[in-house]
Structure 1
Amino acid sequence: MTDIKRILVPVDGSETSDRAIEEAIKIAEVYNSDIHILYVANINQLAINACLSDAILEAVTKAGNEILEKAANKVPEKLNVITTSETGSPSVTITDFADEIKADLVVIGSRGLGLVKGVLLGSVSQYVVEHAPCPALVVK
């Protein structure tokens, strides 16, 4: 990892995704990297696409835009930040997007599961670690 020009940070509004943004900023400041912030609306959890009303889709889009804006506002003006909102399965969408933008690094927040919170990776971060086309840094 000697040349990190594009850092992908998937966000969901959680504390761990906020910490992932903070870590990505530290790395970007050293390498003068672009930070790509990605929000993925997990439509699969809401309902089948054909059954979603316009009001639900509008609410999901609005919530995603607010999360992206909050995350982008954390990035210092001296760094280039690009925000993107997608819909679909977060795991696959994140790895596909990393490939599409030719990310040099993915910085993603972890999440604990059950009683062993903090020990196990969340299913999305685990998938990204295993399938990303570049190195992935998981932030607790």
Structure 2
Amino acid sequence: MPVDGSEHANKAISIACDLAQKYNGRIALLHILADGKNAADLLELSVAKSFSPKLTQQLKLAASNSSQPAPENVLRFIGEKILEQAKAKVIRRGVEVEVLPICSGDPAETILMTQGKVGASTIVMGCRGVSDTKQSSHGSVSNAVFSKATCTCLSVK
């Protein structure tokens, strides 16, 4: 289950837990660094309220300069927070969870490669990620995953 802190990914956690409980499964959480993402988008994530004032100020400064993406150390910290919160939600539901190391790279390819490595029978993910554009019903990452995946995929909106 890829998690990026978006509203749809957060909703997908509940669905993934339902499936894991029903079919005696486990959840492997994956976070891919949001390389090049606009800092303003990151301030909109549900985890943003847990950011320190210093981190919030760093993101606001980066957001004020639209050409400046968030620095990698900030992205990594945000990824850790996202994984921490997702893991807590899964544990509260009584589902076995594995937190995979934070990755970087093309999100769709990384999701597909990780699915193969962990042997996941299902990919549950939000239909849209951090950049919530309205161009189609699914984001470009979920479209790419669904078109190339060899396992069951579930999109949550």
Instruction: Quote the Cα distance in structure 1 between the aligned partners of 2:82 and 2:9.
Output: 10
**TM-score, structure 2 length as denominator?**
0.70
Secondary structure at the counterpart of residue 119 of structure 2: coil
Post-superposition offset of 1:133 = 2.6
Q: Which runs of 4+ in 1 moved over 6 A?
A: none
What is the match of residue 99 of structure 1? Answer: 116
Deviations 1:64-107 (A, max 9, x none): 00000011110135321011211111111011111111110000
What is the match of residue 81 of structure 1? Answer: 97
Secondary structure at the counterpart of residue 35 of structure 1: strand
What is the match of residue 154 of structure 2? Answer: 137
1:29-68 to 2 correspondence within 5 Å?
Answer: 29-43=21-35, 45=36, 56-68=71-83
Higher strand share: 1
Secondary structure at the counterpart of residue 90 of structure 2: coil
What 5-or-longer segments of structure 1 have no aligned partner? 1-8, 47-54
Instruction: Quote the Cα distance in structure 1 between the aligned partners of 2:16 and 2:6.
Output: 15
Instruction: Quote the Cα distance in structure 2 between the aligned partners of 1:42 and 1:64.
Output: 8
1:125 aligns with 2:117: no
RMSD of equivalent CA atoms: 1.8
What 5-or-longer segments of structure 2 have no aligned partner? 38-69
Aligned identity (percent) is 34
**TM-score, structure 1 length as denominator?**
0.78
